[in-house]
Amino acid sequence: MTITVIIPVYNAENFIEKAVNSVTQFPEVREILLIDDGSKDNSLEICREIAEYHKIVKVLQHPDQKNHGVSATRNLGMDMATSEFITFLDADDYYLSNRFDAEREYFKDPIIEGVYGAISTEFVTEKGREIYLEKFLNDDLTTVYQEAEGLDVFKGLSEINKEHGTFFSMIALTIRKTALQRTGLRLNEKLKISEDKDFIVKLSYLTYLKSGFITRPVAVRTGHENNTITKIRNYSSDYFYHQSLIFESLYRWAKKQQKMPQEALEIFRYKYLSSKIASMKGIEKYCNYIRYVLFNPKLLKTRYRYYALKNNH
């Protein structure tokens, strides 16, 4: 079992070394790709220093050496990875010692193409804690609520099974490189927020995933005020706008899948329409809601009506 760990780096000079050190403890890790995404601090220099000390570390940049975002950076990593398995880590996060315990066992079964687990959150600033808890209400484990594998994972993430949970973190995911090659799946570079949700939902349909440790963390996300995910307030116009982009991406993709469950297709469609309406303000929102309902009566369902007419600010 050989693993490539892909670490996008952008202005993370204070965190990179800890992230890398958390990875080098695993003998299965044969390659660490530190991919600088046009950092403006000393991140690139630190990456190069780390590479001199750890021979498994490779430092990469985009061809034009500019900032392209985390999706394009992870995609570059997937294209360049040489190991049997691929994992992800953000430069300000780190792995725990049990990170690959489930993988060592489950990947003995060739049917299983990916394994995912849970992560916890560690706050490095009090302001980061306040912003995070305002958005997520608690700092419990980030993962799904039920064990699952195969198509049941997709049914949970797509909300067909409402008890399963709709998200797990990419830093807790390990995927066979052959699965990515077979599907050709990459992150949607047009999405700037929650691009990982879009990716894992599609991945759960196209590949055979299995839950690993979901009751204890295998990695730690560092919470601070510069986290991308905390910069947009819940239920704001920007929040709903980005939600509409995610579900539009999922809906357009789902329409192209020949055996896509009809229920999932409808969920993506109505989540897209309701979040698009919710991103609007004032009388425009209510007029468009009425207009959309005339052609999409299911928007009258409580779950979609509540979402579409949610007050934003």
Do 214 and 140 share a structural domain?
Answer: yes
Do 192 and 219 share a structural domain?
Answer: yes
Residue 30's pLDDT band (cuts 50, 70, 90) = very high
Query: Quick one: average pLDDT of 245-266?
Result: 96
Do 170 and 255 share a structural domain?
Answer: no
pLDDT at 282: 84
Do 252 and 185 share a structural domain?
Answer: no
Query: Quick one: average pLDDT of 208-217?
Result: 95
Do 185 and 161 share a structural domain?
Answer: yes
Do 180 and 251 share a structural domain?
Answer: no
* pTM of the complete model: 0.91
The last residue of one of the domains, among 195, 228, 261, is 228
Do 249 and 178 share a structural domain?
Answer: no
In a domain, 90, yes or no: yes
Within the chain, what is the greatest distance between any pair of CA atoms?
A: 64
Do 142 and 49 share a structural domain?
Answer: yes
Separation between Cα atoms, residue 197 and residue 246, nearest integer Å: 8
Query: Quick one: average pLDDT of 15-36?
Result: 97
- Strand boundaries in 127-216, DSSP class E: 173-176, 209-211
- Look up the domain containing 210 and give its range: 3-228
Do 158 and 64 share a structural domain?
Answer: yes
In a domain, 81, yes or no: yes
The last residue of one of the domains, among 228, 247, 265, is 228
Say if strands 3-9 and 29-36 run parallel, antiparallel, or are unpaired: parallel
Residue 15's pLDDT band (cuts 50, 70, 90) = very high
Residue 79's pLDDT band (cuts 50, 70, 90) = very high
The last residue of one of the domains, among 209, 228, 247, is 228
CB 193 within 8 A of CB 232: yes
pLDDT of 239 over the 90 cut? no
In a domain, 304, yes or no: yes
CA distances from 67 to 9, 35, 46, 71, 79 (A): 10, 11, 18, 11, 18
For the chain, what is the mean pLDDT? 91
118-137 residue pLDDT tens: 999 887 767 656 665 665 55
CB 247 within 8 A of CB 275: yes
The phi and psi torsions of 116 (rounded to 5 degrees) equal -135, 160
Give the domain CATH number at 28: 3.90.550.10
CB 34 within 8 A of CB 20: yes
Query: Quick one: average pLDDT of 175-202?
Result: 95
The residue that leads in pLDDT, 106 or 224, is 106
Q: How many domains does the chain have?
A: 2
Q: Alpha helix (H) ranges present in 175-236?
A: 177-183, 195-206
Query: Quick one: average pLDDT of 177-193?
Result: 95
SS3 percent helix, strand, coil of the chain, rounded to 5, is: 45, 15, 40
pLDDT of 278 over the 60 cut? yes
In a domain, 313, yes or no: no
